[in-house]
Structure 1
Amino acid sequence: MPKGRNVQSRNTMEIRPANASDLPAITRIIAAAYQKYVTRIGKPPGPMLDDYATHIRRHTAWVAETQHAILGLIVLIPEQDHLALDNVAVDPQHHGRGVGRALMTFAEQEAARRGYTELRLYTHEKMTENLAMYPALGWQETGRGEQAGYQRVFFRKPV
């Protein structure tokens, strides 16, 4: 089991390591969150192709939930010199309720807890919402380029 800790907020949302029983909800959230980008990009975004059962087995996936539902997820992958924020997705039915911000805060706390001084992520250049959101959350763009057949924009954030 990962050493990450549960994070609870005032509204009883908890962030905890994902387990096998969460896979159907994770799959549903990923499809709902990324479907709108398929036409824009011209193919399924990378997160739609990931193997979330493997992320769960490797203890790299966490979910945000209330007592009633899983609201979103985050995938954090340890690298030698940084923690990679591989994916963050929120169920569109729960947008605007602070779930994404809580998951991003969790990533920063988890990176610091593990002794990392930096988080890194990338997004697709056509995911314009992300290109506006990440700098607003303190992320710095570090470059752009093709990777794995996608045009990506790379970001970093010191923690």
Structure 2
Amino acid sequence: MSVILRRAVLDDAAGIVRCIDAAYAPYLSAGLKLPAVSEGVGDDIQNNLVWVLESSQRIVGCLIVVAADDIWHLANVAVHPDFSGQGLGKRLIGTCVDAAKLAGAHHIRLATHAAMPSNVALYTRLGWVVTQQDDIRIQMSRPSSITDT
């Protein structure tokens, strides 16, 4: 299977929404309350940094990053469940880190849900640390300068 990483274009919006919705569907069906994770994708493509992973002309992963000068926010990483376990999430996160480093940003932040411990474990393996936590929200950060393991 060949998976191509590229910057998103506006025509990708519907495919990105399908990918995000599929990635979060198991959490929603388990009753987890999440924000509208696939809302505003077209605006994100126009105003933020958005990458997609594509296989056979199908979007199978996406990354949405809000880039500020010094601190970037990783807003969303999603991999279609049909493609999970292949390192695609790690590849997308690495794309964010590499781009932040090239742009001179010093830190990247994100927020995830406490009921998604596999996400927290992945981010921790990749150099992220928990900076704040409440009942449902875990905030994490990492410098852009460290190398992923």
| One-letter amino acid of the counterpart of residue 25, structure 2 | Q
1:46 alignment counterpart:
35
1:30 alignment counterpart:
20
1:98 alignment counterpart:
87
Change beyond 3 A, Cα 1:12–1:42? closer
- Cα drift, residue 24 of structure 1: 1.7
**Whole-Å separation in 2 of the counterparts to 1:113 and 1:66:** 26
Aligned residues: 144
**Whole-Å separation in 2 of the counterparts to 1:50 and 1:82:** 23
TM-score, with length taken from structure 1: 0.81
TM-score, with length taken from structure 2: 0.86
Question: What runs of 5+ residues in structure 2 fail to find an aligned partner?
Answer: 145-149
Question: What runs of 5+ residues in structure 1 fail to find an aligned partner?
Answer: 1-10
2:123 alignment counterpart:
134
State the superposition RMSD in angstroms: 1.9
Contact 2:65 / 2:74 at 8 angstroms: preserved in 1?
Answer: yes
2:53 alignment counterpart:
64
- 1:154 equivalent among 136, 139, 144: 139
2:11 alignment counterpart:
21
- Cα drift, residue 118 of structure 1: 1.1
Change beyond 3 A, Cα 1:144–1:41? farther
Cα deviations by residue, 1:104-142 (Å, 9 ceiling, x for unpaired): 110110000110111111101111221222111111000
Identity %, equivalent residues: 31
**Whole-Å separation in 1 of the counterparts to 2:143 and 2:32:** 33
**Whole-Å separation in 1 of the counterparts to 2:75 and 2:31:** 18
| One-letter amino acid of the counterpart of residue 60, structure 2 | L
